Amino acid sequence: MPTLADVLARKTRHADLYDRLPDGRLRCYACGHCCPLPDGAVGVCKVRFNQGGQLFAPWGYVGGVQCDPI
């Protein structure tokens, strides 16, 4: 049986908002942390990650639902 991490890892797409650094890492600009991500690393956000020199982010599922009273 696949874990939740395995299921969510399949629901990702190539992300924008990054630059390639001269040393091979990617610098993610999705937030103020500007994480330098070597291959296989996950950002501070724990959702954007570098896999094989490409930045990936979640796509295609709902991460949370909230109902507030009026």
50 closest CA partner among 19, 7, 6? 19
- pLDDT reported for residue 13: 95
- pLDDT reported for residue 6: 84
Mean pLDDT of 48-66: 89
